[in-house]
A and B are shown apart, each in its own frame.
Chain A
Amino acid sequence: MHQTHTLKALSLAAVIGAAGLLPASALAEVEDYVIDTEGAHAFVQFRIKHLGYSWLYGRFNDFGGTFSYDTEDPSNSAIAVDIKTASLDSNHAERDKHLRGKDFLEVDKYPDSSFKSTEIAWDDDGTGTVTGDFTLRGITKPVTLEVMQIGTGPDPWGGYRRGFEGKTSFPLKDFGIDYDLGPASTDVEIILSVEGIRQDG
């Protein structure tokens, strides 16, 4: 009697184990990608309204990161990006100097910014949301990017690539920037456009 129970428990454990192995075998479908910053097929763009009359675009030139993509279950993917804040570039040296200074990013004190995904929800149509911890100016807060896959496939040089674009926006003051740029310019949009090269083998 006692023994039967044990056997039952064992077989149950085996079933659970087998079930548990299924996602484990799905894990084998997870592809690892390095964001192609070397070939500059990736961009960390931002834009903010100027006086409410136009969009001002800028970007961070120095960043890097990786992502994984689960072909069976895209929600099981992940992304991490590190950004060097001093590499800010809005195509105007004096404005960049101001944006790097204490009124904005204070890059001497906070040279690093990062984004690390915590939760990904993927729809069947190739769009989804990526929620993660965004660190800027020493403050870490969750932000959610609206993401879509742009495309994927082999490249002409024997590699395999996959690309996404994600957008989010947040008030500058969420990250301790309270410089008055006017009522139309309180929020900044971040556009993360990445192409990853699959790391095979």
Chain B
Amino acid sequence: MRIRNTPDSYGIVAVTLHWLVAATVVGLFALGLWMVELTYYDDWYRTGPAIHKGIGILLLGALMLRLGWRLLGPQPEPPAGHRPFERRAAAAAHVLMYVLLFGVMLSGYLISTADGRPIDVFGLFEVPAIISGLPGQADIAGKVHLYLAITLVSLAGIHALAALKHHFVDRDRTLLRMLGRGSATETAADSRAPSRAPSHT
């Protein structure tokens, strides 16, 4: 697998970052829902939130890296077999997921820094509080954080179902591409060959 993307396929950096972000988001969502139900004498009462915050900050780093890589490198075209409606819906979903990701992380940051305390990332470094002391900041940010996270994970679920639909129903390369396989030009001598896949209809 290439490092960089081509107009037809995802490189190893994009693929890795995609699945890293996906797994982290699902993990943080589950951890978040679980940790808020813990009671005072649970062993995880303090470590749960500490891990949630630390990973969240690292996720922000990964996401910025991912966006930077996306802006830097070529972005693969949608597979040729995708209908215009599918292309538009997919593009809108991708943009919305990025917006939700940043929204979830910003609201989470605002909960923890509401009274000016920094966020500790596994004792390695601290993220300082920039915005604090807004009226009801922790409470409002907490509600926004929950609802945006639910929206994000729901949309990611639809995104995943759409990928499975392309794989099992349409039998195209949409999902395989994001697994770093299935490029039409992968084995072709001329990797610049147009990505018009044979029509499968």
A-to-B contact residues, CB < 8 Å: 86, 91-94, 96-97, 100, 179-182
Contact = CB atoms under 8 A, between A and B. Distances in A.
Interface of B: 39-41, 49, 111-112, 114-115, 117, 132, 136-139, 142
Given A86-B136, A100-B139, A93 B111 contact: yes
Contacts of A181: 40
A182 B39 CA distance: 10
Leading 8 A-B pairs by shortest Cβ distance: A93-B114, A93-B115, A93-B138, A97-B138, A181-B40, A97-B139, A180-B39, A97-B142
Nearest to A94: B138
B142 A91 contact: no
Contacts of A179: 39-40
A156 to B, nearest CB: 33
Contact of B115 (A86, A92, A100): A92
A181 B137 CA distance: 25
B145 to A, nearest CB: 11
7 contacts: A86-B139, A91-B115, A93-B117, A97-B111, A97-B138, A97-B139, A179-B40
A86 B135 CA distance: 11
B40 A93 contact: no
Contacts of B39: 179-180
A92 B137 CA distance: 12
A92 to B, nearest CB: 6
A96 B117 CA distance: 14
B40 A180 contact: yes
A182 B114 CA distance: 27
Contact of A182 (B40, B112, B142): B40
A180 B138 contact: no
Name, among B49, B114, B139, the residue most crowded by chain A CB atoms within 10 Å (CB to CB): B139
Contacts of A94: 49, 111-112, 114, 138
A69 to B, nearest CB: 35
Contacts of B111: 93-94, 97
Nearest to A180: B39
Contact of B137 (A86, A93, A182): A93
Contacts of B117: 92-93
B198 to A, nearest CB: 57
A180 to B, nearest CB: 5
Contacts of B41: 180, 182
Contacts of B137: 93
Contacts of B132: 93
Name, among B111, B112, B137, B138, the residue most crowded by chain A CB atoms within 10 Å (CB to CB): B138
A157 B101 CA distance: 56
A86 B132 CA distance: 18
Contacts of B138: 93-94, 96-97
A89 B114 CA distance: 12
A61 to B, nearest CB: 11
Contacts of A96: 138
B146 to A, nearest CB: 12
A73 B194 CA distance: 99
Given A93-B115, A93-B132, A179-B40, 8 more contacts: A92-B115, A92-B117, A93-B138, A97-B138, A179-B39, A181-B40, A182-B40, A182-B41
